[in-house]
Structure 1
């Protein structure tokens, strides 16, 4: 899948779909790291998604020029969960038959998205607008915790009720999953 295809698909997402796509990625992280906790704070046309998973590298791998997170946020980067059962639930409730396209789908739909990652004792952050980085990732400091924070704005109003129903459905069908939903 190419940049133009991702952009075209992302334009079909509603603000609520954008939240659901990003929430599904935190559920994928939970499938690999069940200690992870997920919090989704909803505003009218903005949200903040936090998980205590493993975090993603915002520095390039050895021999690479693009950071792992930037590659995931700007290209086709499917993020399958650890089990076929969880994948089936996410396909049914969020992704549809195409399955996971990855975080770039939601990123391309957002006028503003800031991705912050705590990993390896460091905190890094990078900003995007409609899938394009506004500059390189910057180191913000150090952290003893791991996880990600995604602050994003959508082009319209987010349906809080639909996301509450989705969060409840995910938690009731995936053992141990806890999603804390807050409204601003």
Structure 2
């Protein structure tokens, strides 16, 4: 799948679909690190998704020039869960038959997306607009924590009722999954 196809798919996503795609990434991370916590804050046309997973490298892999996270956020990069059971749930509730396309589909649909990762004692961040990086990833500090924070702005108000229904379905289908959902502005 190329850049043009990802852009075309992203244009078909509603703002609630963008939230669903990003939330699915946290559920994939949960499948590998089941002790993580997930929080989702929604306003009218923006959200903030936080998890305490492993974090993602915002520096290039050895021998590469593109950061691992940037590759995932700008190209076809399926994020596969640890088991077929998780995959089946996410296909049913979020991805559909095609399965995971990765975080780039949601990134391309967002007016802006800021990806912050805490890993290996460092905090790195990179910002995007409709899938295009606004500059390279920058280290913004140090930490003893791990995880990711995704701040995103959609092109229209997010239907909070649709996202709430998805969160409830994920909680009931994925044993032990905890998602804290805070809604402000209650778009319907």
Matches within 5 A, 1:19-168: 19-168=19-168
Say how many residue pairs are matched: 184
Matches within 5 A, 1:163-174: 163-174=163-174
1:132 Cα offset (Å): 0.3
1:62 Cα offset (Å): 1.1
In structure 2, the residue matched to 1:2 is 2
In structure 1, the residue matched to 2:17 is 17
Gaps of 5+ in 2: none
Give per-residue Cα distances to partners, 1:66-109, cap 9 Å, x unaligned: 01000000000000110101110100000000000000000000
The separation in 1 between residues aligned to 2:61 and 2:68, in whole angstroms, is 7
TM-score (norm: length of structure 1): 0.99
The separation in 2 between residues aligned to 1:179 and 1:144, in whole angstroms, is 22
TM-score (norm: length of structure 2): 0.97
The separation in 2 between residues aligned to 1:157 and 1:62, in whole angstroms, is 40
Output the aligned Cα RMSD.
Answer: 0.5
